[in-house]
Amino acid sequence: MKRKILVTIPLEEEHKRKIENITSDAEVIYITPDKAERSIVQEAEIILGNVPVDAVRGSKNLKWMQLNSAGANQYTEEGVLLEGTILTNATGAYGLAIAEHMLGMVLNLQKKLHLYAENQKNHMWKDEGPVTSIYGSKTLVVGLGDIGGEFAMRMHALGSKVYGVRRNKSEIPDYLQNIYQLDILDDILHEFDIVALSLPETKETKNLFDGQKFGKMKKGAILLNVGRGSTVHTADLCDALNSGILGGAGLDVVDTEPLPAESPLWDAKNLVLTPHVSGGYHLKETLERIRKISIENLESYYNKAPMKNLVDFKTGYRKFVK
């Protein structure tokens, strides 16, 4: 009986040929994620792309799943994938797109472009006063994976002194001044003009940034969040923005998506809000990188070679490689 491979990542003919050259012994099924019904998913030995969690839960045939997302927390929950199942993610695909989105948010807030856009709608010719600069600022990047690292490099290139926070100690790259661990976050927050969050969802990161943290931040600082909405306490963030404790915030993720019409975030001051669009397939290069990671891992799986982006089920993160 042929092994079955299910692919939900959008592919062009050249990518399908590469897959079929590797998997001549298999039946390859190409479908969109919304067509990934449990009966189809449960037959697959290999899945390339995300499928509904309930569809894959407890699959006895699944040996390896390659996600098209960097986040893996839904699939690492107990009982979803059987012990021994290999899980890899798409870390490395999203850094370019999301880091540029973050940079756009910073410049928008620093140069008050959001205020001028509102004035334009109201036909109002008004000077909104002083602005700030990336040059000479201090930036703290909390979460130094692919996305955080790419953002840090861009901020460094534009003249910011950039520091990082990550779980594990590591060598300090040229674009960072220093790397800290999460346990000293409260002691250093007051130093930074910009604090950028690119964290996955874990027990440790839920509501990590709340009123207490905002109170420790530098008055007028900018907060960015592109990781998971659960990292930021929504009501406390609104209070910090509306009271002027924070100078602004840029969010591409929120705790409840889609954001309910009654959420106070819609009316918060100095907030740039986008509907979780910094990643995905909005930038073509992102999709190309996902395809490349998936096909290279497929070849490694067949050759029993080391695979990229193995996920640690205990932490929900990609396994740390020194």
According to the model, what pLDDT value does residue 321 have? Answer: 57
Mean pLDDT of 143-172: 95
User: How do the domains of the chain map onto residue ranges?
Assistant: 3-92+283-318, 95-273
Closest CA to 43 of 10, 51, 69: 51
Residue 162 CB neighbour total at 10 angstroms:
25
Count Cβ atoms within 10 A of the Cβ of residue 98 and give its class: 0-12 exposed, 13-18 middle, 19 or more buried.
buried
Helix (H, G, I), strand (E, B) or coil at 297: helix
Instruction: Examine the residue annotation and report whether 228 is marked as an active-site residue of this protein.
Output: yes
Catalytic residue among 57, 276, 296, 299: 276
What is the reported pTM?
A: 0.93
Q: Dihedral sign, CA of 223, 229, 232, 233?
A: positive
Q: Dihedral sign, CA of 121, 126, 129, 132?
A: positive
Catalytic residue among 101, 166, 228, 318: 228
Catalytic residue among 118, 128, 257, 285: 257
pLDDT band at 169 (very low <50, low <70, confident <90, very high): confident
- Per-residue DSSP letters for 268-283? -TTEEE--S-SSTTSS
In the predicted structure, residue 203 carries a pLDDT above the cut 90:
no
pLDDT tens profile 271-297? 999 999 999 999 999 999 999 999 999
Token digits for 175? 């674009």
Cα separation, 108 vs 215, in Å, equals 24
Instruction: Examine the residue annotation and report whether 233 is marked as an active-site residue of this protein.
Output: no
pLDDT band at 320 (very low <50, low <70, confident <90, very high): low
Closest CA to 226 of 100, 139, 98: 98
Helix (H, G, I), strand (E, B) or coil at 42: coil
